[in-house]
Structures are given as C-alpha cells and as structure tokens.
C-alpha cells in the first residue's frame, strides 16, 4: 500500500525531533574533530587566519550525515539538496536541509539514488 503525501508529511513531522537531535549531534562531533585541533594551532595576526574563512562543515562532508537520515528516515541524504560550499553553523544546515529532506521523503522531489560499491563476484573453483 502506497502512503499519501499527507501521510508521509505526518510521518516526517513525527520523526523531526529525532532528526534534528541526530543532525545536531553529528554536526557537533564533526566540527569539533577539525576545529578543535586546527584552530588552536592556526597562526593568528592582524590579517586573520585562513581557517576562519572556511565553513564549519563543507558540502562534501555533509554527505556523511547520510548515517543519520538513513537511520531516522530510511533515506540517503541526497548530495543535490546540500548547499554548495557547506554550512557555517548547525542551525544554518538544519534550516536549509529540513525542508528539502521533507520534500525528498514525501516524494515531491525526485533525486538520483547513489550507487553503492558492488562487491566483486567470487570466482567459483571448478573441481
């Protein structure tokens, strides 16, 4: 039985608190992993640092949040809905992604499914 758009929206809204919490935890872990060690060691001066000119999480790393969307929504985080360049803050990421994720979840937006790497076929030994 196929669910209606309204049913899918209801399911999405029910999962929204868990999704936000999961994305917040993921963002915090990911941004601490790079910012904590690099920013403290980065030279500072009157001209600033190149570290501060970069987003907290770039768009390529956001794809790793698929772990969260698959666990909570059962769907991948499509790269085409991610803001090019990334996000300066967790709030900016959530504000940008959630409406788009809802449209993907409800089927309003069709996105390409990423192909997973395929294991090579095992060669059978002939006896």
Model confidence pLDDT, tens digit, residues 79-123 = 999 999 999 999 999 999 999 999 999 999 888 776 655 555 555
Percent residues over pLDDT 90 in the chain: 54
pLDDT at 12 over 80: yes
Q: What is the dihedral of CA 67, 107, 16, 97, to 10 degrees?
A: 70
Segment holding 43, helix H or strand E: none
CA-nearest of 114, 104, 115 to 5 is 104
Distance, CA of 26 to CA of 72 (rounded, Å):
13
Distance, CA of 27 to CA of 88 (rounded, Å):
11
Distance, CA of 20 to CA of 101 (rounded, Å):
12
pTM above 0.85, yes or no: no
Distance, CA of 28 to CA of 43 (rounded, Å):
23
Provide the CA 8 distance to its chain's centre, in angstroms: 20
């Amino acid at each position: 039985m196929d669910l209606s758009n309204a049913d899918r929206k209801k399911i999405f809204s029910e999962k929204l608190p868990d999704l936000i919490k999961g994305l917040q935890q993921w963002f915090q872990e990911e941004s601490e992993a790079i910012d904590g060690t690099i920013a403290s060691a980065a030279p500072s001066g009157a001209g600033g640092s190149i570290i501060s000119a970069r987003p907290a999480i770039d768009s390529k790393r956001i794809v790793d949040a698929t772990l969260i969307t698959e666990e909570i929504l059962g769907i991948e985080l499509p790269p085409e809905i991610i803001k090019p360049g990334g996000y300066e803050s967790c709030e900016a990421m959530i504000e940008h992604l959630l409406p788009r994720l809802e449209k993907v979840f409800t089927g309003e937006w069709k996105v390409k499914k990423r192909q997973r790497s395929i294991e090579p076929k095992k060669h059978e030994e002939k006896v």
